[in-house]
C-alpha cells in the first residue's frame, strides 16, 4: 500500500476516455456540448475545492471570487485584443494568485467558521467592487468578447473545441489534485484535517501547509473561471456571487467529501439537474433543494461515497 | 551526551489570571536521565509541560534546552529542536491508519518537509515506521484506523508518534493513563527499555507514585504549583512533605 508506485485508479482514465468520446453521441447538439462544458467546469472547481474541504478540513465560502477573478482576467485581455488562450490563462493565474495569497494569508490563521467567514468576506468585497463600480462594466460586466486563440490562427470558436478545452482542463486538474493528495504535502494536509494541534507538535508549520492548499485550490478554480469567460464570451459579477460559492460547496457534499472524483460527479450532477429542472418549472430551486436534501439524508457519504478517502490510498 | 544538562527549567512561573498554576519551579534534567514530575491532580504538572513544549509562554522564568532558550518559541519550532511530547488524553490522527499516523510524524523530519518539493517527493521512512510499530507490538495493526485501536494500543501509538520525530528529550504526560495495573507495568518497562536503547532523555509526568518509583532516576514533586521536593526515588518516598501532600492535602 504505502510503497506501491503512485498510480491513478483505472476508473479515472476510463471515465476521461468516455468523456472524450461523448461528442460523438448523436444527441450531443451544440446546446448539450455547452451544457457539458458548464458541467465539467463546475465539477473541476468542486474537485479543487475538495482539496480544501475534504483533505485539509477547511470550508471556503469564497471560491466564487477565485472563479470570477479568473473570468475577468481572461475577459480583460480578450476585450483588449489579446486573444491567446495561454496569455489569458497565465494572466488569470497571476490575478487569482495574488488575490488568493492575500486571502489565504489572513484566513489560514483562523480555524473553522472563522476561516469560512474570512473567505466569504473577502469574496463579497471583490463582488461589490465589480458589481457596484463601473471599473469593469458594473452589473453588465464585460460582454461580447472575441474568440480566444489556441495558437495564432487557430480560434477556439466551436462548441466542440470548447468542450475539448474544458476536458483537457479537467484532466489536468485531476492529475494535479491526485498527485498533491498522494504526496507528502497531501498527507500532512490530511493530518491537519484530522488533528491540527498534533500536527503542530510534530513540527509542522500548519498555516504554511494550509496556505499551500488554498493556493493550489484557488489557482485551479481561477483557470476554470478563465475558461468560462472564453466559452461564454462574457464575464459578469454574478460569477462571484456568494451563492456560486455555496453551489460549489453543495457539489462537493453531494459528490462525496475527500474523494476528488466525487465532487466532479457532484458538480456535473448539480449542473445537469439545474438545467433540466429549470427548463420545466420556474420554481426549480425547490426541486433541486428537495433532491439535495434527499441525497444528504440517504447518502451521507455522497454519490461516490467515502470508499477510499480516509484510507488514503496511494 | 550522557550527564550533560539537557533541560533547564529556571524559576518558571505561569499564571492564568489570578490563578498561579506554577510558581518558581526550578530543576535540571541531564542527558539519559529518566526524570519524573509527580504531584496530586491540579499540582501544575500539565501546565509545566505546556510551558516546556511551547503551548504557553511562562509568566516569568526561562526554559533552556541544550543551552538554547525556548522561551517564546512555538510548539512546532520546539518540536524541531528535538523535544517531543505525548498527550495525557490520546491525541492521534483518528481516521488514518496506524502506519500513516507514524509515517506523517516521521516525515516531519525529512529534508523536503515544509518545502515546495514536498508536493512531488515523498520521503521514504517506511523502515523506521515499521521498527517503531514493531517495538510497541503494533505491526499487525498497521493498516487499522487509529480510532479502531484499543485504548492501550492508542497509548502506544501516541508514544510512537512522538518517537518518530527522533527527539532528544521526550515529554511523557501520564503515558499509562487509563491502563490496568498489569498494562501499566508492561508499558513502563517497555518505555524505559526503548528510551535506553535510543539514548533518550525522559521527562515523565505522573500522579500515580507507584509508576514512577521503579523507573525514575530522579523525581521532583509539585504541589499547588510549587516544587516541594526533589531527589532520588528513595528520598522522595520518605520525604515528610511529600507524604503530607499526597495523604494530607490530596482532598483540597
B112 confidence band (pLDDT: 50, 70, 90): low
Q: Which of A122, A64, A69, A76 is nearest to A93 (CA)?
A: A69
Domains detected in chain A: 28-240 (1.10.3470.10)
- Give the residue extent of every domain in chain B: 1-82+168-185+196-252, 94-166
Residues contacting A73, CB < 8 A, separation 6+: A88, A91, A92, A94, A95, A96, A222, A225, A226
* Chain B environment of A190 (Cβ under 8 Å): 93, 96, 100, 104
Q: Is the pLDDT of residue A177 over 90?
A: yes
Name the residue with higher pLDDT: B122 or B131.
Answer: B131
Cα gap A264→B148, rounded to integer Å: 31
Phi, psi of A18 (to 5 degrees): -60, -40
| Of residues B93, B121, B123, nearest to A198 (C-beta) | B93
**pLDDT, position A290:** 87
The average pLDDT across A275-294 equals 83
* Chain B environment of A191 (Cβ under 8 Å): 93, 96, 104
For the domain made up of B1-82+168-185+196-252, the CATH class stated in words is: alpha beta
ipTM of the complex: 0.86
Query: Taking CB atoms and an 8 Å limit, are A204 and B113 in contact across chains?
Result: yes
Query: Taking CB atoms and an 8 Å limit, are B96 and A312 in contact across chains?
Result: yes
Does A308 reach chain B within 8 Å, measured CB to CB? no
For all residues of chain B together, what is the average pLDDT? Answer: 87
Cα gap B94→B159, rounded to integer Å: 15
**pLDDT, position A54:** 93
Q: Which of B114, B105, B124 is nearest to B163 (CA)?
A: B105
For chain A, helix, strand, coil in percent to 5 are 70, 5, 25
Here the cell at position A45 is 472547481
Q: Which of A211, A179, A161 is nearest to A52 (CA)?
A: A211
Q: Is the pLDDT of residue A255 over 70?
A: yes
Alpha helix stretches (DSSP H) within A80-158: 85-107, 112-132
Q: What is the SS3 assignment for A20-72?
A: HHHHHCCCCCHHHHHHHHHHHHHHHHHHHHHHHHHHHCCCCCCHHHHHHHHHH
Here the cell at position A62 is 469564497
Task: Give the up-direction half-sphere exposure of residue A142: CA atoms within 13 A in the CB hemisphere.
Answer: 24
- The contact set of B with A (CB < 8 A) is 53, 74-76, 79-80, 84-85, 87, 91-97, 99-100, 103-105, 107-110, 112-114, 118-124, 126, 143, 145, 161, 164-165
What confidence tens digit (pLDDT) does each residue in B187-246 have?
888 888 888 888 899 999 987 777 888 888 999 999 888 898 899 988 888 888 888 877
| Of residues A3, A184, A194, nearest to B123 (C-beta) | A184
User: To probe the interface with B, which of A179, A184, A197, A208 has the most B CB atoms within 10 Å?
Assistant: A184
Question: Which of A100-104, A178-182, B108-112 is predicted most confidently?
Answer: A100-104
* Chain A environment of B97 (Cβ under 8 Å): 311-312
Amino acid at each position: 500500500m504505502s510503497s506501491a508506485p503512485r498510480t491513478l485508479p483505472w476508473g479515472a482514465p476510463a471515465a476521461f476516455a468516455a468523456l472524450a468520446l461523448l461528442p460523438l453521441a448523436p444527441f450531443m447538439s451544440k446546446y448539450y456540448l455547452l451544457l457539458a462544458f458548464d458541467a465539467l467546469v463546475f465539477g473541476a472547481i468542486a474537485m479543487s475545492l475538495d482539496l480544501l474541504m475534504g483533505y485539509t478540513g477547511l470550508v471556503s465560502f469564497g471560491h466564487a471570487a477565485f472563479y470570477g477573478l479568473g473570468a475577468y482576467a481572461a475577459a480583460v485581455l480578450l476585450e483588449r485584443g489579446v486573444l491567446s488562450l495561454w496569455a489569458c490563462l497565465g494572466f488569470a493565474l497571476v490575478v487569482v494568485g495574488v488575490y488568493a495569497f492575500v486571502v489565504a494569508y489572513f484566513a489560514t490563521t483562523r480555524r473553522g467558521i472563522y476561516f469560512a467567514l474570512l473567505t466569504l468576506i473577502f469574496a463579497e468585497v471583490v463582488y461589490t467592487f465589480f458589481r457596484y463600480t463601473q471599473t469593469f462594466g458594473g452589473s453588465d460586466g464585460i460582454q461580447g468578447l472575441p474568440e480566444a486563440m489556441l495558437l495564432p490562427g487557430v480560434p477556439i470558436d466551436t462548441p466542440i473545441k470548447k468542450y475539448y478545452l474544458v476536458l483537457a482542463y479537467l484532466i489536468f486538474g485531476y492529475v494535479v489534485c491526485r498527485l498533491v493528495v498522494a504526496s507528502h504535502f497531501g498527507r500532512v494536509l490530511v493530518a491537519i484535517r484530522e488533528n491540527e494541534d498534533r500536527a503542530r507538535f510534530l513540527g509542522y508549520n500548519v498555516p504554511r501547509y494550509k496556505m499551500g492548499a488554498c493556493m493550489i485550490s484557488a489557482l485551479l478554480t481561477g483557470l476554470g473561471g478563465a475558461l468560462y469567460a472564453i466559452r461564454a464570451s462574457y464575464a459578469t459579477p454574478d460569477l462571484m456571487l456568494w451563492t456560486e460559492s455555496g453551489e460549489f460547496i453543495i457539489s462537493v457534499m453531494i459528490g462525496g467529501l475527500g474523494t476528488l472524483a466525487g465532487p466532479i460527479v457532484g458538480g456535473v450532477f448539480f449542473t445537469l439537474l439545474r438545467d433540466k429542472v429549470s427548463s420545466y418549472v420556474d420554481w426549480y430551486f425547490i426541486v433541486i433543494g428537495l433532491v439535495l436534501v434527499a441525497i444528504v439524508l440517504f447518502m451521507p457519504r455522497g454519490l461516490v461515497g467515502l470508499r477510499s478517502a480516509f484510507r488514503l490510498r496511494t | 551526551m550522557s550527564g550533560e544538562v539537557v533541560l533547564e527549567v529556571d524559576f518558571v512561573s505561569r499564571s492564568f489570571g489570578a490563578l498561579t498554576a506554577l510558581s518558581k519551579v526550578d530543576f535540571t534534567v541531564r542527558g539519559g536521565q529518566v526524570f519524573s514530575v509527580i504531584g496530586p491532580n491540579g499540582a501544575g504538572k500539565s501546565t509545566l509541560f505546556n510551558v516546556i513544549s511551547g503551548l504557553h509562554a511562562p509568566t516569568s522564568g526561562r526554559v533552556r534546552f541544550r543551552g538554547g532558550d525556548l522561551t517564546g518559541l512555538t510548539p512546532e519550532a520546539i518540536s524541531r529542536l528535538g523535544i517531543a511530547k505525548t498527550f495525557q488524553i490520546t491525541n492521534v490522527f483518528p481516521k488514518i491508519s496506524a502506519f500513516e499516523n507514524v509515517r506523517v510524524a516521521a516525515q516531519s523530519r525529512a529534508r523536503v518537509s515544509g518545502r515546495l518539493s514536498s508536493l512531488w517527493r515523498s520521503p521514504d521512512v517506511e523502515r523506521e515506521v515499521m521498527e517503531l510499530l514493531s517495538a510497541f507490538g503494533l505491526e499487525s495493526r498497521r493498516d487499522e484506523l487509529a480510532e479502531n485501536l484499543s485504548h492501550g494500543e492508542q497509548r502506544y501509538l501516541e508514544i510512537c508518534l512522538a518517537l518518530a520525530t527522533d527527539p532528544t528529550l521526550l515529554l511523557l504526560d501520564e503515558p499509562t493513563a487509563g491502563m490496568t495495573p498489569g498494562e501499566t507495568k508492561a508499558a513502563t518497562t517497555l518505555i524505559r527499555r526503548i528510551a535506553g536503547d535510543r539514548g533518550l532523555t525522559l521527562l515523565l509526568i505522573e500522579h500515580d507514585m507507584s509508576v514512577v518509583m521503579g523507573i525514575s532516576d530522579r523525581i521532583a514533586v509539585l504541589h499547588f504549583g510549587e516544587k516541594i521536593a526533589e531527589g532520588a526515588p528513595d528520598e522522595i518516598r520518605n520525604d515528610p512533605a511529600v507524604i503530607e501532600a499526597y495523604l494530607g492535602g490530596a482532598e483540597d
